[in-house]
């Protein structure tokens, strides 16, 4: 690129539209939420699986579906230097299914339970709660056909949101049928839509032919009004799907979970069969769906793998953090303030010991006076400052400043180390025996 063809520096110094940096203070909240989610999934027997950020484009075309908005409009697809069509994953399910088939994980005793947390990419219209690079926690179970698992997955999502103090949660459920009952329903939808064809947006007019179920995803007000009068899939389910749905509901009730049947909840992905669900919250703003998922009993077979049923959900982490009431974790650590070369060497050695004992500790090498170092420690939110000046080195007694009480204490090396290494570290009020005068 010639220098004159370069975009102006201002553009270069901005994150790409629809993407965002997660700065350290916010990253702490992410870490906290992710840690809670991972522990929660592990409690239910899920194990982490990690797959590459990009895959062959056909994986999503075939899985997510040719008629889904994701495949039609939202994929980040490019041709790599080897001439392959590559797509940054817009969702995780196809990658997991691919990995299971590729590594023959299906030969392991079923059922298989996996989770993953990471970035997804969709060329969506950026707005609050909707980004082009966003993050999902994704959970999938393979090889469980019983509707009890559908309910357990929803219960797991619900109790996770409770742990993360998300309020105003509502569970929406539906069944989208199966290849046996859905074709008749699609024909009924097509007939209903045909009578109002001219009133639909061009996108929905196309959907009448390709997949009229997708009309329910349309955000255009008039299309939504028209779709509200469409026949309901819950009235067209075959015996098997109706029984499955009834089983799902009764298991949800056994958990004491309140839910609402939302017969227009088809979700924007083509592979769903039987159960679909979404959890929305009044606290996440306009984009109120925190998580969504469903059953996809045909996907593994579609990919040429074994006939293995599956169910899963994906939770948007950005939306979760918008709604969760997470406490900012107090970052408790010792700041070592020192003066002079001898103290510096001592301080570096002590820092190594603290860290080896899992005590977070910071010392900095920029030249500063003791007063400046203490004010810096305070600004950084240190719990303690350990002060090693020339006098302290001479007297072999160090000072410890407790930032929460503002008190300073003096003690010998052993006592101070014991205090800071004690089980209850870092006690906000030091133990009596090292209080000193």
d(CA 289, CA 170): 9
CB of 40 to ligand AMP, least distance (A): 17
Residue 29's CB: how many other CB atoms inside 10 A?
A: 17
**Rounded distance, CA 150 to CA 144, Å?**
9
**Which one of residues 41, 131, 296, 398 is an interface residue with ligand AMP (CB under 6 A)?**
131
Q: Is 134 in the site for ligand AMP (CB under 6 A)?
A: yes
Using the rule CB under 6 A, give the single segment among 231-239, 304-312, 316-324, 411-419 that binds ligand AMP.
316-324
Q: Do residues 403 and 378 touch, judged by C-beta distance below 8 A?
A: yes
Out of 20, 28, 38, 130, the residue judged to bind ligand AMP by CB under 6 A: 130
- Residue carrying the six token digits 């007939």: 191
Number of Cβ within a 10 Å radius of residue 55: 19
Closer of 51 and 418 to ligand AMP (Cβ): 51
In angstroms, give the least distance from the CB of 326 to ligand AMP.
16
Close Cβ partners of 119 (under 8 Å, ≥ 6 residues apart): 53, 133, 134, 135
Residue 37's alpha-carbon distances to 46, 323, 431, in angstroms, are: 11, 15, 36
Task: Give the residue with the Cβ less far from ligand AMP, 89 or 409.
Answer: 89
Query: Nearest 10 degrees: CA dihedral of 414, 419, 425, 426?
Result: -110
Query: Using CB under 6 A, which of the segments 30-38, 99-107, 121-129, 397-405 binds ligand AMP?
Result: 121-129
Which has the closest alpha carbon to 400: 368, 369, 361?
361
Q: CB-wise, 60 or 142, nearer to ligand AMP? A: 60
**Interface residue with ligand AMP, options 94, 305, 316, 430 (CB under 6 A):** 316
State the CB neighbour count (10 A cutoff) for residue 224.
15
The tokens of 292 are what? Answer: 């969504």
* Residue/partner pairs of 155-160 with CB below 8 Å, 24 or more apart: 155/252, 155/255, 155/257, 156/40, 156/41, 156/44, 157/279, 157/291, 157/313, 157/315, 158/257, 158/279, 159/40, 160/36, 160/37, 160/40, 160/315
Least distance in angstroms from the C-beta of 266 to ligand AMP: 11
Residue with the CB atom nearest ligand AMP in the bound state: 316
Instruction: Work out whether 89 is an interface residue with ligand AMP (CB under 6 A).
Output: no
Q: Is 318 an interacting residue with respect to ligand AMP (CB under 6 A)?
A: yes
Asked if residues 408 and 401 have their Cβ atoms less than 8 Å apart, the reply is: yes
**In this chain, which of 309, 314, 321, 336 binds ligand AMP, going by CB under 6 A?**
314
How many chain residues bind ligand AMP (CB under 6 A)? 18
Q: In this chain, which of 91, 150, 155, 297 binds ligand AMP, going by CB under 6 A?
A: 91
Question: CA dist 352 to 55, 66, 268, 334, 345, Å?
Answer: 43, 56, 52, 12, 11
Q: Which of 62, 244, 319, 399 binds ligand AMP (CB under 6 A)?
A: 319
Residues 364, 370, 374, 375, Cα dihedral to 10°: -100
> What is the smallest separation between the CB atom of 129 and ligand AMP, expressed in angstroms?
6
Residues 217-276 that bind ligand AMP (CB under 6 A): 267-268
Asked if 137 touches ligand AMP (CB under 6 A), the answer is no
98 is a contact residue toward ligand AMP (CB under 6 A): no
Residue 134 or 398 with smaller CB distance to ligand AMP: 134
Site for ligand AMP contains 69 (CB under 6 A): no
* Whole-angstrom distance, CA of residue 384 vs CA of residue 395: 21
Q: Considering only 99-107, 160-168, 190-198, 290-298, which stretch makes contact with ligand AMP by CB under 6 A?
A: 290-298
Q: Least CB distance from residue 319 to ligand AMP, whole Å? A: 4
Residue 280 or 347: which CB sits closer to ligand AMP?
280
Q: Which residues bind ligand AMP (CB under 6 A)?
A: 91, 122, 124, 129-131, 134, 136, 267-268, 289-292, 314, 316, 318-319
């Amino acid at each position: 690129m010639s220098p004159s063809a370069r975009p102006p520096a201002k553009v270069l110094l901005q994150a790409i539209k629809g993407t965002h940096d997660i700065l350290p203070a916010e990253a702490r909240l992410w870490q906290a939420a992710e840690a809670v989610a991972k522990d929660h999934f592990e409690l239910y027997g899920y194990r982490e699986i990690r797959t590459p950020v990009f895959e062959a484009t056909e994986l999503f075309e075939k899985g997510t579906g040719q008629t889904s908005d994701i495949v039609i409009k939202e994929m980040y697809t490019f041709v790599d230097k080897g001439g392959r069509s590559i797509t940054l994953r817009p969702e995780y399910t196809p990658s997991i299914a691919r990995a299971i088939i590729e590594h023959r994980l299906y030969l392991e005793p079923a059922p298989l339970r996996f989770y993953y947390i990471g970035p997804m990419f969709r060329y969506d219209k950026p707005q609050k709660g909707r980004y082009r690079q966003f993050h999902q926690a994704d959970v999938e179970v393979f090889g469980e056909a019983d509707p009890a698992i559908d309910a357990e997955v929803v219960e797991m999502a619900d109790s996770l949101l409770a742990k993360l103090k998300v309020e105003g949660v509502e569970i929406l459920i539906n069944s989208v049928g199966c290849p046996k009952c859905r074709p008749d329903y699609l024909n009924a939808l097509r007939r209903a839509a045909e009578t109002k064809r001219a009133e639909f947006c061009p996108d929905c007019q196309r959907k009448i032919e390709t997949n009229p179920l997708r009309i329910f995803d349309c955000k255009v007000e008039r299309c939504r009004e028209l779709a509200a009068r469409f026949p309901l899939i819950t009235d067209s389910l075959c015996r098997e799907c109706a029984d499955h749905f009834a089983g799902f509901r009764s298991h949800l009730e056994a958990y004491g979970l309140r839910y609402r049947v939302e017969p227009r909840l088809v979700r924007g992905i083509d592979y769903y069969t039987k159960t679909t669900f979404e959890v929305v919250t009044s606290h996440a703003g306009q984009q109120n769906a925190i998580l969504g998922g469903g059953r996809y009993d045909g996907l593994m077979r579609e990919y040429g793998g074994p006939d293995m049923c599956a169910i899963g959900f994906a939770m948007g982490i950005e939306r979760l953090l918008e709604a969760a009431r997470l406490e900012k974790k107090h970052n408790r650590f010792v700041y070592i303030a020192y003066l002079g070369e001898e103290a510096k060497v001592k301080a570096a050695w002590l820092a190594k010991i603290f860290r080896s004992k899992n005590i977070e500790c910071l010392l900095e090498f920029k030249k500063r006076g003791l007063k400046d170092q203490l004010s810096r420690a305070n600004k950084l939110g240190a719990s303690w400052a350990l002060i090693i000046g020339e006098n302290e080195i001479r007297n072999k007694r160090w000072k410890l400043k407790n930032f929460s009480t503002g008190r300073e204490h003096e003690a010998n090396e052993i006592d101070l180390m014991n205090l800071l290494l004690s089980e209850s570290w870092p006690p906000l009020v030091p133990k009596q025996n090292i209080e000193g005068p």
